[in-house]
Structure 1
Amino acid sequence: MPYAPIEEGTLYYEEYGSGPPLLLVSGLGGTSAYWRPQLEAYSKRYRVILHDHRGCGRSTRSEISYSVDQMSRDVLALMDHLRLERVHLLGHSTGGAIGQTIAVTAPERLRSLVLYASWGRTDEFFRRAMESRKALLERSGPEAFIRATPLFLFPPWWIHRFPERVAALDQVSREGFSGVAITASRCQAIIDFDRLAELGRIQAPTLVLCAQDDFLTPLYLSEELARHIPGARLVALARGAHAASQVEPEPFDQAVLGFLEEAEARYQETS
């Protein structure tokens, strides 16, 4: 299995297809498995790279104080290992926070940026939601945390219609659970994240993508991102909640692939 060296550890990663490099960066769950519904379509056009975050899946389970800055350095280390000078980056939620950080601190590494169900600064609602999840984990344990997670990710109708899929996702979470200390520290990293004042420095062509029924990162957080990033395009899908790429993959993929095609054409013209 392929691993990339990072500071005091390794990142597990996977590659699919060929073409311009496209990094798919997952959210709090931190594993490459999140992007399975996108692999077939995306790998027909791009060299798709997925990874398990430090502390998650098959990557090193570091007992550290996690931060979005640290997660971003790990992604850059993966790019260096693969000798990727510049990439398209699609980040979901925490992956979007990572994308923002790279766009601000290492703008020369991006061809384009897709911020999906993400946020630029933790507001009172999002803080309370994440503090509640962290408290549930620490006080009631992993099983309560895992069973509650779909309530934050998926629309009620989807959980009602596909209970077997939700149960399968729960089992995957149990098998890959990172431990209370690591997961709680990653939750705190999300709570502490704030890049809003720096978003005006982002140079990469940017798509801000969300679903109108997202409970965890509501539409107004994506609208705020789009207002602060120069030239950003905002697309709000009709439904899909915080996991639109899994709930409604066709409209999600159409929006992403259309944007990436335009961004790659612009990159080729200017490079």
Structure 2
Amino acid sequence: MPLARRQGCELYWDKQGEGPPLILGAGLGGVGAYWTPNLPGLTKHFTVYRFDQRGTGQSGRTVVDSIEQMSADLVAVMDDAGLDRAMYLGHSTGAAIGVATALDHPERLSALMVYASTTCGDDYRRKILGLRTKIFESLGVADYAKYSTLLLYPPYWINANPDEVAKIEAATATQLANPQIQESRFEAILNFDRRTELSRIGIPTMILCADDDILTPKYFSEEYARLIPGARHHWEPRGGHALSRTEPEIFDKIAIEFFKGKKS
């Protein structure tokens, strides 16, 4: 099992496929398994690298200090995998990790997709994540997983996929750490704000968000599109926060068209 190590924390990663290297960074859940529905499409074109962020999945169960700490973890994973440079596709918190890496380690990324992420922690986001913390602490991981379903997946998809929803919620309960670690992850993304520096990002960048995303509303993505020089953007009419899972064929097509031809 591939494991990078940094600051006393083991960081799990894996790779599949053939072609230029493309790293996938998951959201607040933090586990590379989030991307499983997209592997059949993406691995036809890229060598896909996934990783479990600190505090989640098969990585060490340690609290998180900041998005920048997890960006340095990403660099450690790349070093362990022998990657000097790669393309990066990040979802939500994972996209913030990519933005921090593009700013703090610009030589390591050749292209960036910011998918359903935030530029800062505003009052709206603090209300949502504060409630998630209270649910986890008082009601437990099972109810936390059910509430997360409502935030990630739109009604049309939940109604059409009850069995898949049950599997996702059961998996969430096994992948999460304790409330203290999860709260540290919430604080890391809420405290992340590099807006004054985004003009320094000089690699090809795509901003992607669904119109019906209620967890990271589109206004954050619109701000990224305004502040990153030359950034392209795509607004998908529906799909919720978890567009890559609710509409995987549409998502894969957008990602493949953007990353194909980019140099690693």
TM-score range, shorter chain: over 0.9
Residue aligning to 1:76: 75
After TM superposition, give the deviation of residue 145 of structure 1 in Å.
1.2
The alpha-carbon deviation at position 45 of structure 1 amounts to 1.4
Distance 1:183 1:229 in 2: 29
Distance 2:148 2:89 in 1: 22
**Which has the larger displacement, 180-189 or 226-235?**
180-189
* Distance in structure 2 (CA, Å) of the matches to 1:177 and 1:17: 27
Q: Provide the secondary structure at the position in 2 that maps to 1:23.
A: strand
Does 2:8 align with 1:8? yes
SS of the aligned residue for 1:107 comes to: coil
Match status 1:110 vs 2:94: no
1:237 matches 2:244: no
How many residues end up aligned between the 2 structures?
264
CA distance in 1, matches of 2:193, 2:82: 29
Report the TM-score when normalising by structure 1: 0.94
SS at match of 2:260: helix
| Superposition deviation, residue 70 in structure 1 | 1.0
2:27–2:90 contact (8 Å) kept in structure 1: yes
Shift of 1:134: 1.8
Equivalent pair of 2:208/2:233 in contact (CA under 8 Å)? yes
Q: CA-atom RMSD, angstroms?
A: 1.3
Conserved in 2, the CA contact under 8 Å of 1:237 and 1:252? no
Does residue 41 of the first structure (1) align with residue 25 of the second (2)? no
Other-structure match for 1:190: 189
Structure 1, unaligned runs of 5 or more: none
Q: Which residue of 2 aligns with 1:66?
A: 65
How do 1:85-104 and structure 2 match up within 5 A? 85-104=84-103
What residue number does 1:155 align with?
154
| Deviations 1:7-32, CA, capped at 9 Å, x for gaps | 20211111101221110000110111
Deviation at 1:135, TM superposition (A): 2.4
Which structure: greater helix fraction? 1
Given that residues 138 and 184 in structure 1 are in contact (C-alpha distance below 8 angstroms), is that contact kept between their aligned partners in structure 2? no
CA contact (8 A) 2:133 2:179 kept: no
- Provide the C-alpha distance between the structure 2 equivalents of 1:237 and 1:12, rounded to a whole number of angstroms: 32
Aligned to 1:200: 199
Deviation, 1:51, is: 0.8
Pair 1:17-2:36 in alignment: no
> Which amino acid counterpart does residue 29 of structure 2 have in structure 1?
G
Deviations 1:105-127 (A, max 9, x none): 11111110000001111222122
Counterpart Cα distance in 1 of 2:18 and 2:100 = 26
1:216 equivalent in structure 2? 215
Question: Could you list the per-position Cα deviations for residues 94-144 of structure 1 after superposition, in whole angstroms to 9, with x for gaps in the alignment?
Answer: 001001100111111111000000111122212221222122222333222
Q: Give the aligned residue type for 1:40.
A: P
The answer to whether the Cα contact below 8 Å between 1:4 and 1:81 also exists between their aligned partners in 2 is yes
Give the AA of the match of 1:42.
L
Unpaired runs of 5+ residues, structure 2, are none
Structure 2 match to 1:227 = 226
- CA distance in 1: counterparts of 2:44 and 2:160, whole angstroms: 31
Taking the aligned partners of 1:258 and 1:10, their CA distance within structure 2 comes to 34
Residues 218-258 of structure 1 deviation map (CA, whole Å, 9 limit, x = unaligned): 11111011000000001011111000000011111111110
Contact 2:2-2:14 within 8 A present in 1 as well: yes
